[in-house]
Copies of this chain bind each other. A is one copy, B any other.
């Protein structure tokens, strides 16, 4: 590398300074995973981004999903997954698989990747320190009847102390979206919802949801129609009209939940772009959609 190029590099560091200053000491809740996670390189890139955030003074809290890996493991033991309204029907045996894949594979992999590159991650489920108290979710099927989805839950309450203490002491909490019921039973919760509720309970300064599309599009399928800033009111209308649909709905709802609790900024960004987290945080180039109140 020439001296010129090296100096170029130093300038980049300096350009990031105003952003570092702004976010020093702030808490960011970052959701990633589900479809956004398979690629090992992406996983490493996100780990690096998160560690960097930690070192420049941000307190990142990760929430991950797990859909595809769970489906895969269920099929490997001969069980065909079923979904109602995008929620996985979760009987006792499925819940066992969810727990095993979530905690034993996905969570541990993320923790291990972060630590390998120099961070200090700690994996948590909603059981740890009673972090996520859950109640059974009552799902209304398209037909209008209430459907029993088994161990599918909603967040009843967050006890954020454990996450706060760990973040305060330099650790990076990595949270699996499993809630604890009052009898000690486990519930499968949508990871976007967990991220939204956690951001709200922590009074985070940013909620960032990494996904595998460009963001929210005006015209489905046309990346050029990306909406950079989406107001809550319009977001609600688009969900009613169905122009925001499917897996994007809980993401938008998580943003709205966080905004209502006072989180100042929420983002849905494209996790497939290399270092998209840093781009979002350290440059003026908006990538993806910012949901604003």
Seen from chain A, the residues whose Cβ lies within 8 Å of a Cβ on chain B are 1, 3, 6-7, 9-18, 20-21, 24, 45, 48-49, 51-52, 55-57, 76-77, 96, 99-105, 107-108, 111-113, 115-118, 120-125, 127-130, 162, 165, 169, 171, 178, 180, 182-186, 273-275, 278-279, 282-283, 285
B112 touches A13 (CB 8 A): no
Can you spell out 15 A-B residue pairs with CB atoms less than 8 angstroms apart? A3-B285, A7-B273, A7-B279, A10-B49, A12-B12, A17-B48, A21-B55, A55-B56, A99-B108, A103-B107, A103-B123, A111-B125, A112-B127, A112-B184, A120-B129
Bound: A168/B243 CA distance, A = 51
Bound: A234/B20 CA distance, A = 42
A48 touches B14 (CB 8 A): yes
Bound: A11/B180 CA distance, A = 27
- B residues near A107, Cβ cutoff 8 Å: 103
B108 touches A1 (CB 8 A): no
- B residues near A55, Cβ cutoff 8 Å: 17, 20-21, 24, 56-57
Given contacts A13-B13, A115-B127, A122-B128, 15 further A-B contacts (CB under 8 A): A9-B283, A10-B279, A11-B274, A12-B13, A13-B275, A21-B51, A55-B56, A100-B101, A104-B104, A111-B125, A113-B184, A115-B129, A115-B180, A121-B127, A165-B169
CB < 8 Å neighbour of A115 from B56, B57, B130, B171? B130
- B residues near A99, Cβ cutoff 8 Å: 104-105, 108
A61 → chain B closest CB, angstroms: 15
A49 touches B128 (CB 8 A): no
Bound: A59/B113 CA distance, A = 29
A278 touches B10 (CB 8 A): yes
B10 touches A282 (CB 8 A): yes
A127 touches B123 (CB 8 A): yes
> Of A57, A101, A121, A129, which is in contact with the most chain B CB atoms at under 10 Å from its CB?
A129
A170 → chain B closest CB, angstroms: 9
A103 touches B96 (CB 8 A): no
B127 touches A275 (CB 8 A): no
> Of A12, A48, A128, A273, which is in contact with the most chain B CB atoms at under 10 Å from its CB?
A128
A127 → chain B closest CB, angstroms: 5
- B residues near A13, Cβ cutoff 8 Å: 12-13, 16, 52, 275, 278, 282
A224 → chain B closest CB, angstroms: 14
- Say whether, besides A77-B76, A118-B21, A112 and B180 are in contact (CB < 8 Å): yes
Please give me the residue from chain B that is nearest to A20 by CB atom.
B55
B180 touches A278 (CB 8 A): no
- Say whether, besides A99-B104, A104-B104, A285-B6, A129 and B14 are in contact (CB < 8 Å): no
A64 → chain B closest CB, angstroms: 14
